[in-house]
Structure 1
């Protein structure tokens, strides 16, 4: 009896989970291949939602997906574990030991054999080896960090409401003027507005001082300048202090030190200034990586040194035909997952693989309940069109719905939308716990 092909996807983020779901629904369901997902977390949450969890505007319980339950529903297997090495010669991956909170060994180190491997580990914050960042900043790479941020700001608001003094403020510094930094800035002002509405004693709209720090000349440097200007103006209206052309040289317990010599004091410092693949990915399995640990891939999304290993999403360095590299965006991960699926099927059938062509459909920035703005690109709008307001908000929400549809299908996604609508009616608009 011919042995089934084993396909392992490491990383259950946006791209990895969409890919393993489609492979499970087709090859797994037909018993044509054994499909395995490996992740060091037990559940999935769409990464663009992390800033909403951090601010307390989103209750994640309705949006978190259990890998084990999803695997059961979609004909693949789930292994909890953290990748630590790849043995290309023997076609195995090595997973780290699993311990409980007390340090007791639960699962020993183990190996899984593969015929085709897909690395979809996403990215983590890049502190650029800036002194004091790891020790004194909060990151927003995963739900655990978002929960920590939420608990920290909740305690700050509580302490201020009880012990505040005239002219004192809650100072929160956000280092990094990209999409996450901009969206988090707006969400924090929405949070304090909701707390005021719920009668949180001692708070007013001037109690919060958010400082957004960007090294470059403008916030949202990857987006068209008119969107950057519009977002800058919207944030300024809310009260955000925006510092551009400001390079952070170090962070300590007392605040942020800048190249200009200016010291920025803050009660809480968030670092969202850049991304990289996890450090252990550097030349893992002898594969070719770049300076931010991304696996360098060919146009087919296969790694340059091994055709049986693919990489997609933020952990992949894929060049574009017109120069530069595919940006680390959710739309890129979605597109890569779709092509990777087709190329895996083609590889199994010994057919020609197709090249990946990045399609930029535009970008949208959510300024919480205050506004949404961005640009749409492509044939539908005959080029590049800036949008904002209700239309932009609707499209922003649709991006997440498309991700849910890819995972759950139309009927289940519809039911989830209904459940979310009910929760918004019966639950408070801000998470207090």
Structure 2
């Protein structure tokens, strides 16, 4: 198999690039490779974990998106790169169930795909910074299976606490979230809101604020360190109102199956989430491409890998520096902008036009942090450098929702996005507010 443009990774940036190119160039020219069969917008994974969003309703099928947007989808993980032959290897896929002999059945064989241009958009994984027990005893919200595992574990712990309540009045669920960035803060707020709903539906002996104990640990002097002080202060206040314990300036030193140790303090923990840092997937280092200490692929101002013709990278896995020398932050808006830039790059190549005159420049339009289904806070960046506005309440919440809809519009189109938004609004009126199974 050969494709003019192969994109590895169907996250926010990779999928948007595949859809835009596919609609212009067609399935013979554009191929998307991903190790999963459906896509979900990564910033919404905290809602999946809390149970307020059903991944089976929210997820978008890659084969469906490929059919509707005119690209080819290849299901499987990337294993190797033969740069001299301009060819990559996609690993086999096995069925989830083992046979009587304990052997999994192979569904798809190993495949090789030739390319003219290759785009790596494989996102990121958790960086545990060598903390003992972190990899074994925490859950990271990097993928849908992580969020689903958290949700099912939470349901199990709530059920156990409910059954033990009569004999042990102190029975409850202790949740520790490590990392006070946007993911950790949003998860804490969403869990508090969801815990009240769970208690109302099926756990009548549990008091949400008293028995679902949520602790957020952050190593920096304040939560949401990259965002303006006003946003961080508002977030801290909102978490306090929701009975979330926030501890800053603390470093986690060890994690066990039932506790988190930070210095001299030990926090009981039945469920631990790691949201304290990310790095590029380890297998990228095996491709022979220039990489940083954190494993990100180095790219030039045009998102091309220096010294490796025809290879590009975008999103969390790309080490891209701005004109000021500072790295582009790993945010969805950065991946979206980079996808737009590479779309113009490839369209110019296809049309035989000169390359873009200007390199890629990251534009920060601000950040919004969700606090459940009704409240959002954040900052919006103005056109003048350093100018920003603090936003909260209903206006901020509508803007936060619009970001999700803008992503859907890029991959589904305006009409289908509008129909999908209406359908989900109606479904929420006839289904539980949290997923109970």
For 2:385 and 2:306, the matched residues in 1 are separated by 36
Q: 2:48 aligns with which of 37, 53, 59?
A: 53
Kindly provide the CA deviation profile for residues 214-240 of structure 1, in whole angstroms up to 9, marking residues without a partner as x.
111111111111111110111011111
Q: Which runs of 5+ in 2 are unaligned?
A: 99-103
Aligned to 1:271: 274
Structure 1 equivalent of residue 74 of structure 2: 79
Asked whether the equivalents of residues 3 and 31 of structure 2 are also in contact (C-alpha less than 8 Å), the reply is: no
Determine the C-alpha separation between the residues in 2 that align with 1:107 and 1:430.
35
Aligned twin of 2:186: 183
- Other-structure match for 2:91: 96
Secondary structure in structure 2 of the residue aligned to 1:18? helix
Structure 2 residue 35 is matched with structure 1 residue 35: no
Task: Tell me if 1:213 matches 2:250.
Answer: no
CA drift of 1:47 comes to 0.5
Residue 122 (structure 2) pairs with residue 118 (structure 1)? no
CA positional deviation for 1:100: 2.1
- Could you say what secondary structure the match of 1:159 adopts? helix
106-115 vs 132-141, which moves further: 106-115
TM-score normalised according to structure 2 size? 0.94
Q: 1:332 aligns with which of 311, 334, 351?
A: 334
Indicate conservation of the 8 Å contact 2:164/2:171, yes or no. Answer: no
Alignment match, 2:101: none
2:416 alignment partner, one of 412, 416, 425: 412
Hey, what does 1:394 align to over in structure 2?
398
Shift of 1:130: 1.7
Counterparts of 1:214 and 1:380, CA distance in 2:
32
Which aligned runs of 4 or more in structure 1 are off by greater than 6 angstroms? none
Distance between the aligned counterparts of 2:13 and 2:273, measured in 1?
26
Report what 1:356 is aligned to.
Answer: 360
Give the aligned length. 426
| Structure 1 length-normalised TM | 0.95
Runs of 5+ unmatched residues, structure 1 = none
Distance 1:145 1:352 in 2: 40
Q: Deviations over 1:157-176 (max 9, x none)?
A: 11112212223431100011
Question: What are the within-5 Å matches in structure 2 for residues 281-430 of structure 1?
Answer: 281-282=284-285, 284-348=286-350, 349=352, 351-353=354-356, 354-369=358-373, 371-379=375-383, 383-430=387-434
RMSD: 1.8
In the alignment, is the contact (CA less than 8 A) between 1:162 and 1:201 conserved in 2?
no
Return the offset for 1:305. 2.1
Q: Deviations over 1:79-129 (max 9, x none)?
A: 101012111111001112222232233333221100011111011111122
Name the structure 1 match of 2:195: 192
